[in-house]
Amino acid sequence: MRLELRRLAPGEVDHELIWGSIFFALAAAALLLSRVPGVGLPCWFHAVSGWPCPACGLTRAGVALANADPRAAFLVNPLGAIVMLVVGAWSVAALALVALRLPRPRVELTRRWEANALRAVVVAVVLVNWSYLIAHGT
């Protein structure tokens, strides 16, 4: 694995600007939706199986975070709340890097086993979170 800080090359995609902007647009939408009672997306997996899907509670977690209630967000979907908080912090930092024209962090997985290990960890974390959602009937 290689981690480096470098300036964008000419013509290189500005991921920080794109994803930082998308996050703030979604956060604004969550804040607006938090003011509308009964907002939520129907979960077809839950309707058919009776079990929560791995993403159940993400809308409620986002609305709870928009209302500055991280405890409620964590109780609804722990992984979703953590990801939203981390992505939010990253988005603030990313847009600061863009505004200040600073070097950007880049991570490169240089070995096949690193990518496989990362995939395995992501799958394991999602399964543990899904187990929590099933156990707590979210």
pLDDT of 134 over the 70 cut: yes
Q: What is the pLDDT of residue 102?
A: 92
pLDDT 10s digits, 108-126: 888 999 999 999 999 999 9
Residue pair 21/94 in contact (Cβ under 8 Å)? The answer is: no
Instruction: Report pLDDT for 40.
Output: 64
Mean pLDDT of the chain: 89
pLDDT digit string, tens, across residues 12-51: 899 899 988 998 898 888 778 777 776 666 778 888 998 9
At residue 31, the pLDDT reads: 77
Q: What angle do CA 122, 44, 51 make, to 5 degrees?
A: 65
User: Angle 133-38-127 (CA atoms, 0-180°, nearest 5)?
Assistant: 15
Give Cβ neighbours of residue 28 (< 8 Å, ≥ 6 apart). none
Contacts of 45 (CB under 8 A, 6+ apart): 51, 52, 53, 56
Residue 71 CA, chain-centre distance (Å), reads 17
Residues in the chain: 138
Residue type, 7: R
Distances (CA, A) of 68 to 24, 30, 80: 15, 12, 15
Distances (CA, A) of 131 to 42, 51, 58, 134, 138: 20, 10, 15, 5, 11
Q: What does the domain layout of the chain look like in residue ranges?
A: 2-136
Global pTM reads 0.81
